[in-house]
Amino acid sequence: MISPDFNQTLFEKVDRALDEIRPHLLVDGGNIELIDVTTDNYVRIRWTGNCEHCSMSAMTMKAGVEQAIRSRIPEIQGVIAMNGQFAT
């Protein structure tokens, strides 16, 4: 069982990794919200602003968001968008 403190620490690490790409999203009127880090190490995000309906969000997800997170936190298995054009 994963302790709540471990999950909170992981959540905070992921949020800091997202801070690396947020300025780039804000330039185009969008942003990204961290919803959760699951017990099996998947990150769930929500696109906000212009990112929610952007046709480039799939590319941004793989090339920006997932790379930024996994380069800092290798135990993360992947990123799941909960909204937007390419929500899973």
* pLDDT of the chain, 88 residues: tens digit per residue: 444 555 678 999 999 999 999 999 999 999 999 999 999 999 999 999 988 888 888 888 877 899 999 999 999 999 999 987 656 5
Q: Contact, 61 vs 80, CB < 8 A?
A: no
In angstroms, the Cα distances linking 56 to 12, 30, 67, 87 are: 26, 12, 16, 13
Domains plus CATH for the chain?
Answer: 4-81 (3.30.300.130)
Prediction pTM value: 0.82
The total of other beta-carbon atoms located within 10 Å of residue 68's CB is: 20
Task: Please give the structure tokens belonging to residue 22.
Answer: 């947020």
